[in-house]
Amino acid sequence: MKAFRFIVYIFITTILLSCSTKKNTYKLTKNYIPDDPALYDTIINLDKAFFDAYNNCDKNLNTYSSFYSDSIEFFHDNGGFMNSKQEIVAGTKKYVCGKVTRELVKGSIEVYPIKDYGAIEIGLHKFHNKEEPNNIAKVGRFTIIWKKENNEWKITKVISLH
């Protein structure tokens, strides 16, 4: 009976360890530790708020649009270059709202301070297309450059690679 309990204990422990949340995280840099933990938390919260607005498409995309600088530069490996805030927002409204959602790859964000400017955020994410439910979302790499001006954070540059 003790041997049976021991085997059950090992079996359950193995299952629990295999389901550990560590398997669901991914770090770009093996031993990444933020240089500035407070800045890291700020950018993580901004990323969440920005992509909540992206995923939920509030009326006229006002919240989403408010994150972008008026001098935004957006580089997309498939879509090319855009530097019109209005065109980016219009494209999001036409091609994303109600159709596509973004999922952050847990644990993948790295944040680096940029002296007298703001921060660079690097990470991985997936986009799920509701119009193509059988399509498997692939992991893409992104870089967002955040500028802090008058205590307000704005996205000035985006590099999106799929």
Q: How far is CA 23 from CA 19, 28, 107, 110, 128, in A?
A: 7, 14, 10, 18, 21
Mean pLDDT of the 36-49 span: 98
Distance, CA of 155 to CA of 153 (rounded, Å): 7
Domains, the chain, ranges and CATH? 29-161 (3.10.450.50)
Checking if the pLDDT of 108 tops 70, the result is yes
Token reading at 43:
């950018």
Token reading at 93:
């409204």
Mean pLDDT of the 40-45 span: 98
Helix H segments across 21-139? 37-56, 62-66, 85-95
25: pLDDT confidence band, cut at 50, 70 and 90? low
In this prediction, residue 26 carries a pLDDT of: 66
Residue 155 DSSP one-character state: E
Predicted TM-score (pTM) of the model is 0.82
